[in-house]
Amino acid sequence: MLNKTGVPSLSLIKTKFPEQNKLFKAKAITECYEEIPCNPCSTSCPFEAITIGEDINKLPVVDFDKCTGCGICVYSCPGLAIFTVALKKEKAIFKIPYELLPYPKVDETWKAVNRDGLVIGEAIIKKVILKPKQDRTLLVEVEVDKNLLYDFITIKE
C-alpha cells in the first residue's frame, strides 16, 4: 500500500506506536518508512531515545522508555516525519510540525486531516511554539478526539 499510494496501511502505522498504556505521557512516533541516509532525529534527541545505528540508511527506532515527548526531534526531522502523541481521557494530544501560512493560533479550531488529506474531525490548537533553533518549523500542540489516534496526521484551516 505504501509503495502504491504513498500512504501507509493501518497495520504499518501501528508498528510505530507503543502500547496505548504508555501514552499517558507524550511519545515520539517516527513515520519514517524508507531507508534513506538521514539521522537528525537521532542526533537531536537529548535523551538518546532514537537509534539508527552505524548504517545511516537504517530506519529510526524509538525507545519509548527513554522518550520524554519533548518534541525536539519533531522540528529537527527534515522530512516532517515525526510527531508526538499522548492520551488524556477521551482526547489525543499531538505535537506536530507545521510550516504553512497562515500559522495557527492558540484556541482556534482547525480541521483534523488524515494521511489521505481528508478532513476527519476537529483539532483544537493548544500551543504554538516557534523558537529560533526550530528554523521556521512550528511545533503545534493540538487536541483531537481519541478515536483519531491512528488516523490524524495534520491540520488545515
Structural contact between residues 151 and 114, judged by C-beta atoms closer than 8 angstroms: yes
Rule CB under 6 A: is residue 144 a binding residue for ligand SF4? no
Least distance to ligand SF4 from the beta carbon of 29, Å? Answer: 9
Q: Which is nearer to ligand SF4, 30 or 151 (CB)?
A: 30
Q: Does 60 bind ligand SF4 (CB under 6 A)?
A: yes
- Give the Cα separation of 1 and 151 in Å (integer): 15
The three grid cell numbers given for residue 157, joined into one nine-digit string: 484551516
Task: Establish if 77 lies at the interface with ligand SF4 (CB under 6 A).
Answer: yes
Q: Which is nearer to ligand SF4, 31 or 122 (CB)?
A: 31
23 binds ligand SF4 (CB under 6 A): no
Min. distance of Cβ 157 from ligand SF4 in angstroms?
25
- Strand segments, DSSP code E, in the chain are 27-30, 50-51, 61-62, 82-88, 91-98, 109-114, 119-129, 138-145, 152-156
**68 in contact with ligand SF4 (CB under 6 A):** yes
C-alpha distances in angstroms, 97 versus 15, 54, 60, 141?
21, 27, 18, 9
Interface residues toward ligand SF4, by CB under 6 A: 28, 30, 32, 38-41, 45, 47, 49-50, 60, 62, 67-73, 77, 79, 81-82, 84
